Amino acid sequence: MNVSLFITCLADAVYPSSVGRSTVELLERLGCNVSFPRNQTCCGQPAFNSGYQKETQKVARHMITTFEDAEWVVTPSGSCATMVQEYKKLFSDDEKWQKKAEELASKTYELTQFIVDVLGVENVGAEFHGTVTYHSSCHMTRLLGVKEAPVRLLENVSGLTLTELPFKEHCCGFGGTFAVKMMPISQQMVDEKVQHIEETKAACLVGSDLGCLMNIGGRIERTGRPVEVRHIAEILNSRKEVHT
């Protein structure tokens, strides 16, 4: 299966390579042939969520062109996958681009959604020892409708104990530009989220969206809590450490 990876701007330009590396290795292990179209940039959410329609259209056209020839597009972000689904609404008075937007939307999947729904795999053969809790991001669960896939994949990781996060449906307070535009409100939201994470006593927080993880992780680090924050691709790509 030929997969074009849409890595997202956060995993590409802000985070160290680990999330992207794990995504590629995981997909390859599951039999996919992974390519990385180098012209890719960002899905356009910063402009979209701030109300800049024309600017969003510009970025969307670039995304559509970049992935035009892809067979499948897979991205390690529920929020960016949701954004791609929104493209068709941006071109409601432009038939040509609307059709292209629909084509891209129909072949674009969030990573865990792709593994479970397209590849039909629920156990990726990963091994990770420890208790983790999972943050289900808002766009991924409510707008993209992907709730079960990440949980099922995590439950099948050998050695992993999954504890449910209380108030798991509550937003972490990221919201893109909201995190800086409405910083005092965002701070209250992320603080409550961190408190709920601590209540689980899990050593590790796992999520499927780097935006949320950057927000929660950044707050955890700033306030000096001993919780590790990992992207789900990193967990699903973990293998038993072999000491030689």
Partner 1 sequence: MSIRISNEPFDKRVEKGINDEFMRSAVSGAQDRLEGRKSDSTAELGTWEDWRDHAEEIRQHTLDNLDFYLQQFAENAAAQGGHVFFAETKEEANEYIQSVIKKKEAKKVVKAKSMVTEEIGMNEAIRELDCEVIESDLGEWILQLDDHDPPSHIVVPALHKNKDQIRETFHKKRGYSQSSDPQELGRFAREQLRKEFLSADVGITGCNFAVAESGSVSLVTNEGNARMVTALPKTQISVMGMERIVPTWEELDVLVSMLCRSAVGQKLTSYITGLTPSEADDEHAPEEFHIVIVDNGRSKILGTKYQSALQCIRCAACINVCPVYRHVGGHSYGSIYPGPIGAVLTPLLEGYENNKELPFASSLCAACTDACPVKIPLHELLLEHRRDIVEHEGGGFSEKMAMQGFAYAASHPKLFEFGSRSASPIVDRFSEKESGPGPVKLWTKIRTLPSQKDDRFRDWFAERERRKNDGENS
Instruction: Tell me which residues touch partner 1 (CB under 8 A).
Output: 7, 9, 11-21, 24, 36, 38-42, 44, 46-56, 58-59, 61-62, 66, 138-139, 142-143, 169-171, 173-190, 192, 214-215, 217-219, 221-222
Q: Please say which residue, 71 or 221, places its beta carbon nearer to partner 1.
A: 221
Q: How far is the CB of 61 from partner 1 (least distance, A)?
A: 7
Q: Which amino acid is at 25?
A: E
Q: How far is the CB of 66 from partner 1 (least distance, A)?
A: 8
Enter the tokens of residue 244: 């030689």
Q: Please say which residue, 85 or 160, places its beta carbon nearer to partner 1.
A: 85
Q: Please say which residue, 16 or 226, places its beta carbon nearer to partner 1.
A: 16
Q: Please say which residue, 52 or 228, places its beta carbon nearer to partner 1.
A: 52
Q: How far is the CB of 172 from partner 1 (least distance, A)?
A: 8
Q: How far is the CB of 120 from partner 1 (least distance, A)?
A: 26
Q: Please say which residue, 29 or 178, places its beta carbon nearer to partner 1.
A: 178
DSSP state of 17: T
Cα(111)–Cα(117) distance, rounded to whole angstroms? 10
C-alpha 139 chain-centroid distance: 10
Residues 6+ apart with CB under 8 A from 26: 111, 115, 124, 233, 236, 237
Report helix, strand and coil shares of the chain as percent, to nearest 5: 50, 15, 35
Distances (CA, A) of 145 to 113, 168, 230, 232: 10, 15, 22, 17
Q: Please say which residue, 113 or 160, places its beta carbon nearer to partner 1.
A: 113
Q: How far is the CB of 53 from partner 1 (least distance, A)?
A: 5
Q: What number of residues does the chain have?
A: 244
Tokens 């701070």 belong to which residue? 187
